[in-house]
Amino acid sequence: MNLTPADSTLSAAPNSRATPDRPVTKNADPALKSDPTAGQNASVASVTHLNNKLAEYLTPSEMKKVKEAYRFSDERHLGQIRKSGEPYISHPIAVAEICADWKLDAQAIMAALLHDVMEDTDVKKDELIERFGAPVATLVDGLSKLDKIEFQSQIEAQAENFRKMLLAMARDVRVILVKLADRLHNMRTLGFMIPEKKRRIARETMEVYVPIAHRLGLNNIYRELQDLAFAHLYPLRYKTLSKAVKAARGNRREVVSKIMESVKNTLAATGIQAQVYGREKTLYGIYRKMRNKHLSFSQVLDVYGFRIVVDSFANCYVALGTLHALYKPMPGKFKDYIAIPKLNGYQSLHTTLIGPYGTPVEFQIRTQEMHRVAEAGVAAHWLYKDEEASLTDLQQRTHAWLQSLLDIQKQTGDSAEFLEHVKVDLFPDSVYVFTPKSTIIALPRGATVLDFAYTIHTDIGDQAIAARINHEQAALRTELRNGDIVEIITAPASRPSPNWLTFVRTGKARSAIRHHLRTINLAESTELGKRLLAQALTTLQIDPVLPDTMLEKLLNESSAKSLDELYADIGVGKRMATLVARHIRGLMESDPNSPQPPAIEKSSGKLDPVAINGNEGVSVQLAACCQPIPGDSIIGQLKRDQGIVVHATDCDVAKRQHAKEPDRWIELVWDTELTRRFDCRIKVLVDNEKGVLARVAAEIGESDANITYVGMDDDRDQMMKQLRFTVQVEDRVHLARLMRNVRRIRGVARILRERT
């Protein structure tokens, strides 16, 4: 059953409206800009091409449903044109064609044809449910942007759109397959966009869609999107590199032919049935290697590689041995992704050999089944339905990752934070470690022990206190390496610390820690937020006790669900007390019935100092770099999800960070009533003689201070030694008394307070 255009005048309607977000096709005839008939003819050709692809695997009844979706989309987009002058329907047809290449089912093809009708026309989800069924309508809804909602910024709108799409993907992976097809066609046809828009779309593609394609194992899409984004982000670099590759292609043709012939003959002599393909690195892959390793193009020797597809698992390793006998392998350049597949299910043996004329050549060895998964990833589920059993592991990996998106969503406060966590998890390089029971866990490069703990289970992460790596004690911040055997040590009373956010790597760990800090410590954060807002209002000469009507207005104009949530957001640094106070002042000035605040005499609107005592819990953290104690002049940094971090005013770290974000700092003072002791580091230079450490430690104890850490240098040949202590003191006066007492000890040459 053939698909035919619903209207012969769809590219030349008088009321046509251009759609700037929908660029022209890359290979479109220039005449399309002025000849609507040419655009329509191209559309008809595309419909015929799509029809032929679908007829290969869809049933007649499914074809009928697809035809209905096409006609509906064609009617709704009637009069809309792309920048090229093509009828807009050419874009949904092209997206459906890409999906047909993966042999996606009829529902996904229908969603591809309808993917813009909710966004660009007045069609509602209920109408799609009625005409095409709930599954198709849900797919289209997951692909549609939130255009009808007003956001405070473009960044917030973009983040919320991504969150909607990724959560829809977590429930049905077909959403992201159709979205990637949509993005691929838009990237292929980006030529008619203005330069600024090209760069924005290309950057978004490189940051989000390229990693998603890689994470799902869609390597063909991944490579093409990467190169297209590179071409639009850095057009001059792309053109220069493209010319260099074309020139090198001719120079190296003889080498490539010689290697190809040698490999084929050697494998055949060994009795291995194999297909050998020459393979060229992508332009972006070459550019990235040049940039990361600071190489010129002439220094990137492995521009070409070879892929060997054999008939069995065992022959992968036989072929590897055969190649190593033919050419010498480069040390450290062998990777076995068959024994330990990548996160996205990719399996191959990688080895780099020294070919003729001393040229390094990379070989990838895999079976036909591995090759299918490597190229199509999760889409192989539709491409090769007769071999579903072989893809079980890949499907399980994908399902686990998609489920983690839902877990992160449950623990995340806003869209920008959600997107931040997801971007972290899309990091392509991985490190593989083992549980004590030899289960392989894949983590992003740079992941720590704590990331491992949260990957196992959120409760294990929350209660972690230390670990054993390869049976040796290790701290939670220890970075993991390939092959490590990791065992987590937990304590039921242990709870997450805000400091953990400074070294965890995975999105799941970050979202779980932030969720805990928001919920478990809600009372502390709420109380601190109240104090900060009261201080800010007092500075603006506004009574901190606001009338109920004003509080109701404030909540209506913020995303907070309650007053306590608003206070908590201020307490953990998600909202600035000064900005909230100024917003309240604006509301009062715009309401004639509200008591008007007096004119502000302080031109800076500077906050009065906030008093702290160090017992506020996780809402107030003392900075590890300078370890302030009572008596020090202090200043506070409002850090997102960490509350206030207290620094000494003369701290070098604080000075650098204050210069970057001056609006996130407030003045602090010590409370008059202090009931705890504070850590402080001291360094003591002593004669290298017997008993000196014992004398210094005893004097610190006599001075009513507790020692929590002691260390010294290991050079026994030195005449002097440096002793380092972390001691707990009441305040600066107590510290001064302790230092005077230690300075009197025989053998002590110098003592000073140590700061980073």
Three-class SS of residue 721? strand
Residue 530 to residue 729: CA distance in whole angstroms: 30
How do 274-280 and 304-310 pair as beta strands? antiparallel
Q: Which CATH number fits domain 245-380: 3.60.21.10, 3.40.630.30, 3.30.460.10, 3.40.50.720?
A: 3.30.460.10
Q: 338 near 354, Cβ under 8 Å?
A: no
Q: Taking Cα atoms as reference points, which of 693, 698, 734 lies closest to residue 710? A: 693
What is the per-residue DSSP string for 215-282? Answer: HTT-HHHHHHHHHHHHHHHSHHHHHHHHHHHHHHHHHTHHHHHHHHHHHHHHHHHHT--EEEEEEE--
pLDDT digits (tens, 9 = 90+) for 401-438: 556 555 555 555 554 555 555 555 554 466 778 888 87
Gap between the Cα atoms of 373 and 380, Å rounded: 6
Residue 305 has pLDDT above 90, yes or no: no
Mean pLDDT over 97-124 rounds to 87
How far apart, in whole angstroms, are the C-alpha atoms of residue 66 and residue 564?
Answer: 51
pLDDT of residue 16: 35
| Residue of higher predicted confidence among 545 and 20 | 545
Residue tagged active-site, from 74, 97, 116, 120 = 120
- DSSP designation for 607: P
pLDDT at site 449 = 93
What homologous superfamily does CATH list for 17-193? Hypothetical protein af1432 (1.10.3210.10)
Asked whether 177 and 379 are in contact (CB, 8 A), the reply is yes
pLDDT at 669: 87
pLDDT at 641 (0 to 100): 56
Q: Which amino acid is at 468?
A: R
Q: Are 117 and 72 in contact (CB under 8 A)?
A: yes
CATH of domain 678-753: 3.30.70.260
Return the beta strands (E) in 457-605 as ranges: 464-469, 472-474, 486-490
Average pLDDT rounded to a whole number, residues 551-557: 77
For 282-302, what is the mean pLDDT? 78
The more confident residue out of 160 and 268 is 268
Greatest mean pLDDT among 113-127, 251-265, 393-407 lies in 113-127
Average pLDDT, the chain: 77
Quick check: 303 and 280 in contact, CB under 8 A?
yes
Query: Which ranges of 492-521 would DSSP assign to H, the alpha helix?
Result: 507-519
Give residue 594's pLDDT band: very low, low, confident or very high (50, 70, 90): low
Any bridge partners for residue 365, and if so which? 308, 349
**Dist. CA 578–CA 562, nearest whole Å:** 19
Domain residue extents for the chain: 17-193, 245-380, 396-519, 609-676, 678-753
Nearest-angstrom CA–CA distance, 530 and 561: 16
Q: How confident is the model at residue 349 (pLDDT cuts 50, 70, 90)?
A: very high
β-pair partners for 76: none
Q: How far apart, in whole angstroms, are the C-alpha atoms of residue 353 and residue 351?
A: 7
pLDDT digits (tens, 9 = 90+) for 469-502: 988 888 898 999 877 889 999 988 888 887 788 8
120 is catalytic: yes
| Cα–Cα dist 69/65, whole Å | 6
Greater model confidence, 632 or 444: 632
**Whole-number Å distance between alpha carbons of 268 and 256:** 18
The pLDDT assigned to 391 comes to 46
Catalytic residue among 105, 119, 224, 302: 119
DSSP state for residue 561 in the 8-state scheme: S
pLDDT digits (tens, 9 = 90+) for 613-643: 776 655 678 888 899 999 999 998 877 656 6
CA-based nearest residue to 425, from 441, 392, 447, 453: 447
Q: What is the pLDDT of residues 143-153, one digit of tens each?
A: 775 443 333 44
Per-residue model confidence (pLDDT) at position 6: 40
- CATH topology (fold) of 396-519: Ubiquitin-like (UB roll) (3.10.20)
Rounded to whole angstroms, the Cα distance separating 576 from 584 reads 13
The pLDDT assigned to 23 comes to 37
Between 310 and 331, the more confident residue is 310
**Would you give the DSSP letter of residue 149?**
S
Region 583-601 average pLDDT: 67
- In this predicted structure, the answer to whether residue 80 has a pLDDT above a threshold of 90 is no
Distance (Å, rounded) from C-alpha 634 to C-alpha 628?
7
**What's the N-to-C CA distance of the chain in angstroms?**
75
Under DSSP, the state recorded for 207 is I
In the chain, the percentage of residues whose pLDDT exceeds 70 is 76
Of how many residues is the chain composed?
A: 756
pLDDT recorded at residue 191: 83
Q: What pLDDT is stored for residue 435 in this prediction?
A: 87
What is residue 600's predicted lDDT score, i.e. its pLDDT? Answer: 47
Report the phi/psi class of residue 658: left, alpha or beta, with left for phi > 0 and alpha for psi in -120 to 50.
Answer: alpha
**Single-letter amino acid code for the residue at 607:** L
- Using an 8 Å Cβ cutoff, are 348 and 338 in contact? yes
The alpha carbons of the chain give a radius of gyration, in whole angstroms, of 32
Q: Three-class SS of residue 310?
A: strand
Higher confidence at residue 755 or residue 391?
755
- pLDDT value, residue 426: 53
Among candidates 65, 75, 169, which has minimal Cα distance to 120? Answer: 75
Q: What is the mean pLDDT of residues 693-702?
A: 91
Residue 284 CB coordination number (10 Å):
23
Distance of CA 701 to the CA centre of its chain: 49
Phi-psi region of 341 (alpha: psi -120 to 50; beta: other; left: phi over 0): beta
pLDDT digit string, tens, across residues 657-667: 888 888 778 78
pLDDT of residue 39: 44
Are the C-beta atoms of residues 257 and 302 closer than 8 Å to each other? no
Predicted pLDDT at 393: 58
Q: Summarize the confidence of residues 138-161 as an average pLDDT.
A: 57
Residue 681 has pLDDT above 60, yes or no: yes
CB count within 10 Å of CB 242 equals 14
Confidence of residue 225 (pLDDT cuts 50, 70, 90): very high
Q: What percent of the chain is predicted at pLDDT more than 90?
A: 18
Strand pairing category for 360-367 and 304-310: parallel
DSSP state of 389: G
* Spatial separation of the C-alpha atoms in residues 395 and 380, rounded to whole Å: 10
Which residue has better confidence, 222 or 7?
A: 222
Confidence tier at 380 by pLDDT (50, 70, 90): low
With contact defined as beta carbons under 8 Å apart, do 99 and 112 qualify?
A: yes
